[in-house]
Structure 1
């Protein structure tokens, strides 16, 4: 990720720092959304409401975690939405769409409560060759990391978002979008992820007794 030309003081997560320049806008330690909500799991998805490639399924009752050394994406949009589970419970999420993305050193973990005790599903990929995804849609509950955006627009009507294919929300809703997005040291809590295609190089999958979450 490109470095800012001037060194800036450390700030808290609640007070993100912003730089504007020819490469776009950088927000250090920036949580893309502050609303709680996100649900467990499918990594391949289908079409859903409002013409968006998103989670067209009932989410599980548990969120899961994703971490990565970096995510580099082209075409990014986000607006408020609701992830709904089988029992009808709704969870507010920041529905984020990315046209294409490369992810270095991806870790996905889901903590299970089994009759014999806790266990963790851990999936890793992209250590040597980046994970490649298209038409990614992520129901974000919380995101921490260092982020840089190219040509960002904040507060745009969600129905007019056009950076990510199909990534439009309801008319009058708050939206943001950018031409590009780069996140380093990413720690993400989510309820659901879908992708038009996902290539996992160097895939590893294990179920481990106890708590072995990615972060």
Structure 2
């Protein structure tokens, strides 16, 4: 029975989906497609995405398998948003530099005006939030039956996409103090006011 309304915490269910994604790695070997009909192999490097707040309309959560350039299979939970509004965005990835040691590429924005995105997909290996409120949520919907939120067009074509697997969808969501470890982020459009991109020596993670 699908729940047509209410509020719930995503942290528990993100953990369930990560476990489901790990189990689905045994399905076979294939290529996970990227968003908007553009397929790509991920680098396999995990990076951090943090936000003070994330407000979204049209939400989907489903398990998937990404494929790294060297052929490694990476189980992920895909967070999909038709429209997303983010304040206090931070993205960081560590880059080992021969001889010089570690450097960190850091991107920040959305401090005074919110970051806006459409058809945003975050391929995550872990997700947490201090508070997560949702409206009109369905838990346990089949991935192939998701209608409220988006499905990455490339994922739908992938042999790793199981239309019968456990998934979630919601009309809207509001999260605070968001912390995500991700291997890929794609968006139809992404507007970042106050963009600051810098390369810093040492380790300077978002969290």
TM over 0.5: yes
Hey, what does 1:144 align to over in structure 2?
128
CA contact (8 A) 2:95 2:103 kept: yes
2:205 to 188, 191, 213: 213
Q: Structure 1 stretches of 5 or more lacking a match?
A: 1-19, 38-47
Hey, what does 1:120 align to over in structure 2?
104
Q: Deviations over 1:82-136 (max 9, x none)?
A: 0110111101101121000000010000011111100000000000000000000
The alignment's TM-score, normalised by the length of structure 2, stands at 0.81
Please state how far the C-alpha of 1:173 moved relative to its aligned partner.
Answer: 1.1
CA contact (8 A) 1:101 1:133 kept: yes
Partner SS, residue 26 of structure 1: coil
Relative to its length, the structure with more strand (as a share) is 1
Relative to its length, the structure with more helix (as a share) is 2
Label 1:187 to 1:32 Cα distance change in 2 as closer, same or farther (>3 A): farther
1:133 to 117, 121, 125: 117
Partner SS, residue 33 of structure 1: helix
CA contact (8 A) 2:135 2:173 kept: yes
State how far apart, in whole Å, the 1-side matches of 2:107 and 2:37 are: 21
Label 1:54 to 1:132 Cα distance change in 2 as closer, same or farther (>3 A): farther
Please state how far the C-alpha of 1:166 moved relative to its aligned partner.
Answer: 3.9
CA contact (8 A) 2:60 2:150 kept: no
What's the C-alpha RMSD, in Å, of the aligned pairs? Answer: 2.4
Partner SS, residue 62 of structure 1: coil
Label 1:84 to 1:55 Cα distance change in 2 as closer, same or farther (>3 A): farther
The alignment's TM-score, normalised by the length of structure 1, stands at 0.78
Aligned positions of 1:37-186 closer than 5 A: 49=33, 53=36, 56-115=39-98, 116-145=100-129, 146-166=131-151, 169-186=161-178
Q: Deviations over 1:17-74 (max 9, x none)?
A: xxx9x7x31328x25522289xxxxxxxxxx75x964872111131100111100000
CA contact (8 A) 2:48 2:182 kept: yes
Hey, what does 1:6 align to over in structure 2?
none
CA contact (8 A) 1:76 1:98 kept: yes
Label 1:127 to 1:54 Cα distance change in 2 as closer, same or farther (>3 A): farther
